[in-house]
Amino acid sequence: SIAPQTCDIASWVVVAQGLARMADGRVYNFSAGPSMMPLEVLEEVQREMVNYKGTGMSIMEMSHRSKDFMQVANEAEKNMRDVLGVPDGYKVIFMQGGATLQFSAVPLNLLGGAKTKADYIITGQWSEKAHKECAKYGTPQAVCNSKPTKFTTIPSKADWKLDPEAAYVHYCMNETVNGVEFKTTPDVGDVPLIADMSSNFCSRPIEVRKHAYIYAGLQKNLGPAGLSVGILRDDWAAGKNEMKICPTYCSWKITADNGSMYNTPACFTLYVMGEYLKYTKKVGGLTYWDEQSDKKSRLLYDTIDGSDGFYKCPVEKSCRSRMNVPFTILGGNEELEKKFMEQAKKVKLYTLAGHRSVGGCRASLYNGMPVEGVEKLSDFMKSFMDENRK
Residues with catalytic annotation?
A: 126, 196, 220
- How far apart are the C-alpha atoms of 248 and 256, rounded to whole Å? 12
Cβ atoms of residues 213 and 236 within 8 Å: yes
Which residues, in sequence order, are bridge partners of residue 120? Answer: 142, 170
- How far apart are the C-alpha atoms of 167 and 169, rounded to whole Å? 7
- How far apart are the C-alpha atoms of 54 and 36, rounded to whole Å? 28
Cβ atoms of residues 118 and 134 within 8 Å: yes
Question: Exposed (0-12), middle (13-18) or buried (19+): which is 357, by Cβ within 10 Å?
Answer: exposed
CA 48 to chain centre: 26
Strand intervals (E) in the chain: 28-29, 90-95, 117-122, 139-145, 169-172, 174-175, 180-181, 193-196, 213-217, 228-233, 311-312, 324-329, 349-350, 361-364
Cβ atoms of residues 316 and 345 within 8 Å: no
Q: Following DSSP, what letter does each residue of 344-365 receive, concatenated?
A: HHTTTEE--BPPTTT-SEEEE-
Cβ atoms of residues 52 and 58 within 8 Å: yes
3-state secondary structure of 219: coil
Maximum pairwise Cα distance, the chain: 65
Alpha-carbon separation of residue 220 from 174, 279, 357 (angstroms): 12, 15, 20
Cβ atoms of residues 362 and 350 within 8 Å: no
Cβ atoms of residues 110 and 168 within 8 Å: yes
Which residues, in sequence order, are bridge partners of residue 121? Answer: 144
